[in-house]
């Protein structure tokens, strides 16, 4: 008996060890899984897990159970924003239709990078035990990369489903047909919550599959190009029952007194029967080209599948859609439209004077939107590292960028009836051309008199032996340059030497010094470093005459190549931080002190070991 127990315990121990031996591939920020297709992304149920993950060594967010608890077992994802609003859901062991085993999930969304630091832009933590968390984050920088850190409260681990829906929002929904949101294109969107039945909760015609409104949202549109219309409605909470009805409005968008039902969907639970008999009538619903029925009543009948047939729209006809949360939980939904038909609306468009520009070069952006009914609002977002980043009005607008790469510019317009559409275009910002090499400065020994430069005028008279007469040296002496400059000063030549050049050193005084210390083998900034840099840039903005000398240091233990590379990375990460804050490259100089370029100052008994794990920023002004 004891032997059997021991064998079972050993087998269990080996199984647990094997399950936790390997960390997930996205255990660290630098290994974040890139999510594409974020316009309407949902992973498979149980596709991701944080089992076997280690802590990220970052402070928790303010919405976590403790901001000082950095032991949570979290995993990382990243995505590039294609629109200005995102809805993120992490779904674990929810009741009825679980998407994983994770309990009390939590996540935080960051803007920034693993190496230069993060700014938190969104956070949710499941304190109530629903085993699902979701949130909306607005005002994203289109084209920017965002990092998502997912874990569980109190160190919980398990599998989960991840959904990311990145979109440009429509106006907040109305619960009445008369004040319904007007849709003017087929762009998808997500509604965070719907509550209440509006001012007229009895506006549904009698005899419908949908008997009454509980928590509803109404939308209207007019068909432009005739054709098919498909639709997928996905509840934010997968266990919610979402129903809908599509009507035709014979008298146009402004008249809801007569509504002709075209499609009706109310499938759901068969009360008192096992879930397996009605599971097909849960989750996503809508109109599909593969369905043939026009009507599904409450419950889940034999031929029901939660979808009705696609709609065939007619040009110029107006339609209305009511979406209702039967469970009345207050949770919202996502909607995606398809098919060949189109909605009537304004055309959002703009032009730029160049598709490729250099950093800090001006770009002109001009509105070209049109609509027969008139446009009342223009809202611009010029993307990452743009100055300015946003603007309103028709323009034209002038903008420039402090970093290179692909930049996304968006224009959102709104008509008088509340119709909103968005246009996004990309431009390319190029790196500036490399600066010319620094001129060589001739060394002058301390006790040696410098030799004057020789002049050879083209009109010099010939000497008797056929040579050229050499004029006498100039009477004005050349200034002496000390071999070692005074501490905290820099000698910067004003121009390359020529035959008539007199070397006059340009002296810069060090006005302020900031030191950033790094962990061994690291070029990552932490929160303390950001505080130091924030104080420094305040001085930079107050004194436009200051230039920045950024020095990257390392120790002298590894190879030359490794030391120089690490020192360069440390300087570059600091320079990149200043560039993102709008400091022009013409004000920044970089100096690298690797293994063989050790600064003679600040030597310690550790032989450069610890004092050189740093970057130094010196603010200098010309005397």
331, 229: one domain: yes
Q: Which residues pair with 207 in a beta bridge?
A: none
Residue with tokens 């120089």: 564
Question: How does pLDDT run across 586-595, given as a tens digit for each residue?
Answer: 889 888 887 6
In terms of domains, do 186 and 163 share one? no
Which of 311, 338, 365 is the last residue before a domain boundary? Answer: 338
- Mean pLDDT, residues 7-18 taken together: 43
Could you tell me which residues come within 8 angstroms of residue 100 by beta carbon, excluding any fewer than 6 positions away?
A: 45, 46, 48, 49, 91, 92, 93, 158, 159, 160, 161
336 within 8 A of 42, measured Cβ to Cβ: no
Residue 267 structure tokens: 């499938």
Interval 599-615: pLDDT, tens: 434 443 333 334 557 88
Residue 386 has pLDDT above 60, yes or no: yes
Whether residue 565 has pLDDT greater than 70: yes
- Please indicate, yes or no, whether residues 268 and 185 belong to a single structural domain of this protein: yes
Instruction: Write the CB contacts of 603 (distance below 8 Å, at least 6 apart in sequence).
Output: none
Q: What was the pLDDT predicted at 77?
A: 98
CB under 8 Å to 183, separation ≥6 — which residues?
Answer: 170, 219, 220, 221, 343, 345, 419
Q: Where among 402, 430, 458 does a domain terminate? A: 430
Whether 476 is in a domain gets the answer: no
Longest dimension (CA), the chain: 124
DSSP assignment string, 238-265: TTS-EEEEEEEETT-TT--SS-EEEEEE
CA distance 591 to 177: 66
Question: Phi, psi (5° rounding) for residue 593?
Answer: -120, 90
Q: Give the domain-ending residue among 403, 430, 457.
A: 430
Paired strand residues for 88: 135, 164
The tens digit of pLDDT for each residue in 159-180 reads: 999 999 998 887 778 889 999 9
Residue 584 lies in a domain: yes
Do residues 219 and 316 both lie within one domain?
A: yes
The encoded tokens of residue 512 equal: 């302020």
Domain hosting 320: range is 181-199+208-338
Tokens of 567: 């020192």
What are the residues facing 410 on neighbouring strands?
381, 424
Distances (CA, A) of 23 to 20, 54, 74, 108, 148: 7, 7, 10, 20, 18
pLDDT at 11 over 60: no
Dist CA 418 CA 413 (whole Å): 10
Closest residue by Cα to residue 304 from 265, 246, 247:
265
Residue 108 falls within a domain, yes or no? yes
Which pair of structure tokens corresponds to residue 134?
């979701």
Rounded distance between C-alpha atoms, residue 64 and residue 66, angstroms: 5
SS3 314: coil
CB atoms within 10 A of CB 192: 16
- Give the whole-angstrom CA distance, residue 69 versus residue 514: 30
Model confidence at 315: pLDDT above 90: yes
600 found inside a domain: yes
Sign (positive or negative) of CA dihedral 383, 384, 387, 389:
positive
Q: 225-239, 472-486, 517-531, 542-556 — which one is most confidently predicted on average?
A: 225-239
Q: Which residues touch 579 (CB under 8 Å, ≥6 apart)? A: 385, 402, 403, 585, 588
Coil, strand or helix: which one is 13? helix
Residue 489 lies in a domain: no
Q: How confident is the model at residue 260 (pLDDT cuts 50, 70, 90)?
A: very high
For residues 611 and 512, membership in a common domain is answered with: yes
Q: Which 8-state DSSP code applies to residue 202?
A: T
618 contacts 512 by C-beta, under 8 angstroms: yes
CA distance 197 to 174: 9
Across-strand partners of 288?
A: 309
- Verify that 423 and 517 share a domain, yes or no: no
Task: Report d(CA 195, CA 187) in Å as an integer.
Answer: 23
In a domain, 1, yes or no: no
Give the confidence band of 71 by pLDDT, cuts at 50, 70, 90.
low
Q: Checking phi first, is residue 449 left (phi over 0); if not, alpha (psi -120 to 50) or beta?
A: beta
What percentage of the chain exceeds 90 in pLDDT?
39
Half-sphere exposure of 277 (CA within 13 A, CB side): 10
Task: Name the 3-class secondary structure at 42.
Answer: strand
Mean pLDDT check: name the lowest of 97-106, 309-318, 425-434.
425-434
Average model confidence (pLDDT) for the chain? 81
Report if residue 71 sits inside a domain.
yes
The three-class DSSP label of residue 72 is: coil
CATH number at residue 322: 2.60.120.380
Residue 185 shares a structural domain with residue 332: yes
Please count the structural domains in the chain. Answer: 4
Two tokens, residue 231:
């639709």
CA distance 266 to 214: 13
153 and 237 inside one domain: no
Q: 17-31, 38-52, 238-252, 512-526: which range is least confident on average?
A: 17-31
Are both 191 and 157 inside the same structural domain?
no
Q: How far apart are CA 449 and CA 433, in angstroms?
A: 39
Q: How many residues make up the chain in this entry?
A: 623
Residue entry with tokens 């070209």: 368
Please report whether residue 475 resides in a domain: no
Tell whether the model's pLDDT for residue 450 goes beyond 60.
Answer: no
Instruction: Say whether both 330 and 189 belong to one domain.
Output: yes
What CATH code is carried by the domain that includes residue 423? 2.60.40.10
- Is residue 455's pLDDT more than 80? no
Is the pLDDT reported for residue 452 higher than 70?
A: no
Q: Are residues 318 and 189 part of one domain?
A: yes
Cβ-contact 148, 106 below 8 angstroms: no
pLDDT of residue 365: 96
Give bridge partners of residue 508 from the DSSP assignment: 490, 622
- The answer on 267 and 139 residing in a single domain is no
Q: What is the DSSP string of 544-574?
A: TT-EEEEEEE--SSS-HHHHHHHHHHHHHHH
| Segment among 46-50, 352-356, 459-463, 546-550 with least mean pLDDT | 459-463
Classify residue 435 by burial, with Cβ atoms within 10 Å: 0-12, 13-18, 19+: exposed
Secondary structure E strands in 44-96 = 48-49, 75-80, 85-91
Residue pLDDT, tens place only, 202-219: 889 988 898 888 889 999
DSSP 262-278: EEEEEE---TTS-GGGT
d(CA 550, CA 469): 49
Q: For the purposes of burial, counting CB atoms within 10 Å of the CB of 13, is it exposed (0-12), middle (13-18) or buried (19 or more)?
A: exposed
Instruction: Measure the CA–CA gap between 363 and 399, rounded to whole angstroms.
Output: 5
């Amino acid at each position: 008996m004891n032997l059997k127990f021991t064998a079972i315990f050993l087998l269990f121990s080996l199984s647990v060890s094997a399950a936790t031996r390997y960390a997930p591939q996205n255990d660290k920020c630098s290994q974040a899984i890139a999510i594409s297709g974020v316009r309407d992304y949902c992973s498979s149920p149980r596709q991701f897990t944080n089992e076997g993950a280690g802590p990220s060594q970052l402070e928790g967010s303010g919405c976590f159970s403790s901001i000082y608890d950095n032991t949570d077992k979290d995993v990382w994802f990243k995505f590039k924003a294609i629109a200005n609003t995102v809805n993120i859901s992490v779904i674990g062991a929810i009741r009825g239709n679980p998407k994983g085993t994770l309990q009390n999930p939590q996540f935080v969304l960051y803007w920034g990078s693993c190496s230069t630091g993060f700014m938190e832009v969104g956070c949710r933590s499941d304190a109530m035990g629903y085993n699902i968390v979701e949130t909306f984050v607005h005002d994203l920088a289109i084209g920017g990369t965002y990092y998502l850190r997912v874990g569980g409260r109190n160190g919980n681990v398990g599998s989960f489903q991840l959904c990311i829906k990145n979109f440009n929002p429509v106006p907040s929904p109305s619960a009445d047909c008369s004040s319904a949101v007007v849709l003017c294109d087929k762009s998808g969107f997500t509604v965070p919550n719907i509550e209440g039945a509006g001012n007229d909760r009895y506006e549904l015609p009698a005899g419908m599959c949908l008997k009454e409104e509980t928590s509803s949202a109404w939308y209207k549109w007019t068909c432009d190009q005739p054709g098919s219309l498909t639709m997928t409605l996905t509840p934010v909470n997968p266990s919610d029952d979402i129903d809908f009805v599509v009507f035709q409005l014979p008298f146009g968008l402004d008249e809801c007194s007569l509504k002709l039902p075209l499609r009706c969907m109310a499938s759901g639970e068969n009360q008192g029967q096992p879930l397996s008999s009605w599971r097909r009538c849960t989750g996503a619903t809508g109109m599909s080209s593969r369905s043939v029925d026009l009507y599904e009543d409450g419950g889940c009948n034999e031929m029901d599948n939660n979808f009705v047939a696609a709609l065939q729209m007619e040009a110029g006809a107006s339609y209305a859609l009511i979406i209702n949360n039967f469970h009345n939980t207050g949770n919202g939904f996502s909607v995606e439209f398809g098919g060949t038909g189109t909605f009537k609306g304004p055309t959002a468009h703009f032009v730029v004077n160049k598709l490729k520009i250099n950093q800090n070069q001006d770009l002109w952006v001009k509105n070209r939107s049109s609509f027969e009914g008139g446009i009342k609002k223009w809202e611009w977002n010029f993307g990452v590292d743009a100055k300015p980043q946003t603007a309103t009005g028709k323009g034209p607008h002038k903008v420039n960028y402090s970093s290179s790469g692909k930049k996304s510019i968006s224009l959102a317009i709104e008509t008088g009836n509340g119709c909103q559409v968005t246009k996004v275009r990309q431009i390319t910002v190029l790196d500036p051309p490399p600066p010319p090499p620094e001129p060589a400065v001739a060394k002058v020994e301390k006790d040696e008199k410098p030799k004057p430069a020789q002049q050879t005028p083209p009109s010099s008279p010939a000497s008797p032996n056929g040579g050229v007469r050499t004029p006498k040296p100039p009477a004005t002496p050349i200034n002496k340059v000390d071999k070692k400059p005074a501490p905290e000063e820099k000698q910067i030549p004003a121009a390359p030497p020529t035959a008539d050049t007199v070397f006059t050193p340009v002296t810069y005084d060090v006005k302020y010094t900031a030191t950033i210390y790094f962990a061994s083998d690291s070029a990552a900034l932490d929160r303390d470093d950001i505080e130091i840099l924030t104080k420094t840039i305040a001085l930079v903005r107050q004194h436009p005459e200051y230039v920045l000398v950024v020095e990257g240091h390392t120790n002298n233990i590894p190879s030359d190549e490794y030391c120089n590379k690490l020192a360069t990375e440390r300087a570059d990460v600091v320079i990149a931080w200043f560039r993102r804050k709008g400091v022009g490259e013409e004000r920044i100089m970089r100096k690298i002190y690797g293994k063989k370029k050790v600064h003679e100052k600040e030597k310690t008994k550790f032989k450069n070991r610890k004092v050189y794990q740093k970057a130094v920023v010196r603010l200098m002004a010309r005397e």
